[in-house]
Structure 1
Amino acid sequence: MAQSQPRPNIVLVHCHDLGTYLGCYGAAVDTPRIDAFAADGVRFDRHFVTAPQCSPSRSSLMTGRHPHQNGMLGLAHAGWEIDEDEQLLPELLGAAGYETHLFGLQHITEYPDRLGYDRIHSENSLTADGPPSVHESARAREVAADFADALAAGGLGEPFFASVGFFEVHRMEETDGFGFADDRYETPSPDDVDPLEFLPDDPGIRSDIAEIQGMVEALDDGVGTVLDALEDAGLTDETLVVFTTEHGLAMPRAKGTCFDPGIEAAFAVRYPAGFDGERVEDALVSNVDVFATLLEIADAPAPEKEIAGESFASLLREDGTYEPRDRIFAGMTWHDRYNPVRAIRTDRWKYIRNFWNLPDVYLTNDIYRSDAGREVRDEFYDEQRSHEELYDLEDDPLERENLLAEDVPDDSEIADVHDRLRTELGDWMASTGDPLLDEPVLPEEVDDAHPWAEDGRH
């Protein structure tokens, strides 16, 4: 067991829409720098997020609370904001003596000054996600270079927390829809990529996979630049580095859905002076747990509000006190349309409750208007989704057979599992004050006149 250092530097590297599409997670893509980093540290094989969409999922990472608890029920550029009285990770780390820095994107507010960072770098990449043009300076290679330059100049403080946000692997609007490629990325031939197991092997899907691979190469380069900068500064051993993303690939049956490809996300952490690496953990964890974990490792104060996350710092330290989760919760409310869904996942079972009438498989606008979306949208929009879904993840890991699609005998195992998970989901919604239990969350409840906008902080 490595000796513990109580106050490491913390670097949180995060990207868009990646899911687990990395070589170290078994994907057929070259990601040598991320793979080596994950091999040196601790890679989590069952890390899930609270929402299969950007701003709500990121809000859980920053507050340790679910989106319906912290107010982020939709996207930051669509009028949604974290509640004014929430305490965010940079603020609490700052209270513990950390100098805090933001590089690149964040996408949880249109008013980045309220995030609590001591210094915001790359100013023009900090507006909410919206059109791709706002991320022209949030590409992985450029943001990583900014971090490396600042670190080399000695301007980050001691200890420091740096959030390093990359645009990749987000779709970009094009003349005929949404794709991934531009002249910054080298894209392989669609004939040379492997299909995704949860989608058919169709030309439009292959084309999008090829473009994703071009972006992933740039992402891997950016991560490598960050790691090299820490090594050059002699800070590798005393720095805790996290690499993660906020939800699954921007592909059908992934982003925007509570199927595993939508809510499962890469998560790897390395801290040579603090805990042993070179291992893979299969504990069920949620990104709502990361907040509590980092606060514990940094010896930072807890927020005033009760959090939903559970620290897994003891799991990283392997001290034998970690009590593993037996379930995680996820959901979404608003994206580019009203799509209220809540889900509970255990080791074996997934139960999804749909609160609105929508197509069988919801496609976010960027996926609907993509090559991949055009291949499947007639099929996915042909039927209305069931209000309840139950999947046996052992027998049906791709979540193809909804066990509630037909009548279930009252005395069957399926009926027992259904009753138990439906009750557990309802109890969780009640205990966390989920507004969906009372009534639909209508668009007029989104108030554009946020209180923090009144004092001119933009």
Structure 2
Amino acid sequence: MLRISAGVILTIVSLFSGALLAGTVKKEKQNQPNILFILSDDHSVPFLGCYGYPVKTPNIDKLAKEGIIYNRAHTTAPQCVLSRAAIMTGRSTLDIRMTRFTAPLSADVISYPELLRKGGYYTGVCGRNFHLNGARTTAVSEEVFDKYNLETFKNRVDYLKTTGNMDSIYYQYKDFLNTIPKGKPFFLQLSYSDPHRIFNAKEYEPDPDTIKIPEGWPDTKLLRKDLAGYLGEIQRLDHEVGKVFEELKRRGLDKNTLIVFMGDNGGALVRGKGTLYKLGLNVPLIMRLSDLIKPGQVSNILVSGEDIAPTLLQVAGIAAPKEFTGVSIVPSFQDKPFQAHQYIYAVRGAHGSGLPTNTAHFDLGRTVISDRYKLIYNALWQLPYYPVDFSGQPFWLELQQLHNEGKLEEKWDKLLFSERRSMFELFDELADPNEFNNLAGKPEYKEIEEKLKGKLQEWMILNEDYLPLPVTPRPR
């Protein structure tokens, strides 16, 4: 009998395993699914039927029923540019230097569509402005952008078109499908402006008197009218998404296409967009792909916007770069025990192109979220809250007037119109899902607060954050 050493056996097993793995990867690449990533604009949880809110969204609800819905998906910022940058790159907003709203994504930061393109995909971005080529807000900006060739996305994807017209989005989508080379899988980011303000989907709006006001909101007639406008935009969005699904089915592409539906950040609602509260960061995330994703699942894992890129790359059988800070959530597709993160993080940076006259234009904050608790660090705590995108709306002006007259409910008066905010806010997301009760500074929560500050500090150091760190320095 031949004697074979353990080392030889290990070598043979390794070679055989490597050959099997190579064969599996090759097989996956031969059957790469198409990827359709639908991105809504300013869309908070829970405003979809499948999230339990009474709004008519049958097409998106059907997608959720046939796939997986994530209850705790959070964007990396409560603003579109910062959030979309992290989604597009699989990296922290700080890590890729995208905390200024009008900044273009640097050419040295790779986006996941580029990796899909190298891996054999025909790639495209169309619909609503994708926001990552920067903003030409002044003549000086124009000159700088042209001088240094800062607009890079024409070189990152095969098909790039944008439109501000709702009807044109559908035709761009069809045009993209018509241009796909035969035999190639495709990736398309299809972006919508709904439910971003201005609310103009009048024919889709529900009766303001019959809608459900989220728990804890001030229930006024003008606020109801405003929320009805928001819900109308969502119901119109669902109608348009239904047309997209039908076209995919008509072309026989629905079975082998991973469909992802996600909001780019929270809605321009009270304590929503522009804030690090739940309505600013918690967005819908739904995925469906026959045979890969077990239908009818509801997941409560923590998901970050950084996780989208590595997830889509894994589905395509393409390795994610080591620079990615996101984690693939593919293991959650089959309803198996899985935890992507113990903690996720988000930032608040400059918003829009206006000068820093209030905290709508310029605010600086960070947050860390654990399985149960959230800590918010307001670096500009001395400045009051100022709403993003709705400071001139009738419902807000009425709330201001009630505050000025001393007639606004005390809870809302304190939350919305305090002259100063707390530097730190700590919330028990399980006991206080609306984030009304700040636990920071309370002795019984000291250990939790210190732990979260430590985690946030670690993340800020590793990401070379420019803000002062949140842990109180030792006296010298």
TM over 0.5: yes
Q: Mark the CA change 1:353 to 1:153 in structure 2 (over 3 Å): closer, same or farther.
A: closer
**1:130 maps to what in 2?**
none
**1:454 maps to what in 2?**
none
Correspondence for 1:7 among 19, 32, 37: 32
Q: Structure 1: where are the runs of 5+ without partners?
A: 126-134, 173-179, 440-458
Question: How far apart are residue 229 of structure 1 and its match?
Answer: 1.1
**2:465 maps to what in 1?**
434
Question: How far apart are residue 182 of structure 1 and its match?
Answer: 5.7
**2:117 maps to what in 1?**
94
The answer to whether the aligner puts 1:281 opposite 2:320 as a matched pair is no
In 2, Cα distance between equivalents of 1:115 and 1:59: 16
The one-letter amino acid of 1:229's match is: E
In 1, Cα distance between equivalents of 2:399 and 2:372: 28
The one-letter amino acid of 2:442's match is: V
Question: How far apart are residue 334 of structure 1 and its match?
Answer: 0.8
Correspondence for 2:451 among 388, 408, 420: 420
Q: Structure 2: where are the runs of 5+ without partners?
A: 1-26, 135-150, 353-360, 404-412, 471-476
**1:442 maps to what in 2?**
none
Cα pair 2:122 2:180 within 8 Å, conserved = no
SS state at 2:456 partner: helix
**2:264 maps to what in 1?**
246
Cα pair 1:238 1:273 within 8 Å, conserved = no
**2:378 maps to what in 1?**
354
The one-letter amino acid of 1:25's match is: Y
Question: How far apart are residue 198 of structure 1 and its match?
Answer: 4.2
Q: Mark the CA change 1:316 to 1:202 in structure 2 (over 3 Å): closer, same or farther.
A: same
**Larger Rg belongs to:** 2
**1:396 maps to what in 2?**
432
**1:59 maps to what in 2?**
85
1:266-311 per-position Cα deviation (integer Å, ceiling 9, x unaligned): 00001103232221111111111111111111122433x6121011
The one-letter amino acid of 1:60's match is: A
Between the aligned residues of both structures, percent identity stands at 31
TM-score w.r.t. structure 2 length?
0.80
For the aligned residues, what is the CA RMSD? 2.3
SS state at 2:368 partner: strand
Q: Mark the CA change 1:310 to 1:65 in structure 2 (over 3 Å): closer, same or farther.
A: same
**1:302 maps to what in 2?**
320
Question: How far apart are residue 57 of structure 1 and its match?
Answer: 0.6
**2:340 maps to what in 1?**
324
Q: Mark the CA change 1:238 to 1:396 in structure 2 (over 3 Å): closer, same or farther.
A: same
The answer to whether the aligner puts 1:408 opposite 2:451 as a matched pair is no
Cα pair 2:104 2:133 within 8 Å, conserved = yes
SS state at 1:367 partner: coil
1:117-143 per-position Cα deviation (integer Å, ceiling 9, x unaligned): 101234xx2xxxxxxxxx2x2x2x541
In 2, Cα distance between equivalents of 1:371 and 1:430: 43
Matched residue count: 404
**1:232 maps to what in 2?**
250
The answer to whether the aligner puts 1:116 opposite 2:161 as a matched pair is no
Question: How far apart are residue 83 of structure 1 and its match?
Answer: 2.5
Q: Mark the CA change 1:189 to 1:146 in structure 2 (over 3 Å): closer, same or farther.
A: same
In 1, Cα distance between equivalents of 2:221 and 2:336: 49
SS state at 1:190 partner: coil
**1:257 maps to what in 2?**
275
SS state at 2:261 partner: strand
Question: How far apart are residue 395 of structure 1 and its match?
Answer: 2.0
**2:328 maps to what in 1?**
311
1:159-211 per-position Cα deviation (integer Å, ceiling 9, x unaligned): 00011010111112xxxxxxx1266x432332122212242111221111111
SS state at 2:209 partner: helix
In 1, Cα distance between equivalents of 2:191 and 2:290: 23
Cα pair 2:378 2:424 within 8 Å, conserved = yes
> What does 1:94-173 correspond to in 2, within 5 Å?
94-105=117-128, 106-110=130-134, 111=151, 113-114=153-154, 116-122=156-162, 125=163, 135=164, 137=165, 139=166, 141-151=167-177, 158-172=184-198
Question: How far apart are residue 374 of structure 1 and its match?
Answer: 2.3
1:310-356 per-position Cα deviation (integer Å, ceiling 9, x unaligned): 11112214566x44322211121111422111001112111111111
TM-score w.r.t. structure 1 length?
0.83
Question: How far apart are residue 155 of structure 1 and its match?
Answer: 5.8
The one-letter amino acid of 1:401's match is: N
SS state at 1:227 partner: helix
Deviates more, 1:21-30 or 1:269-278: 269-278
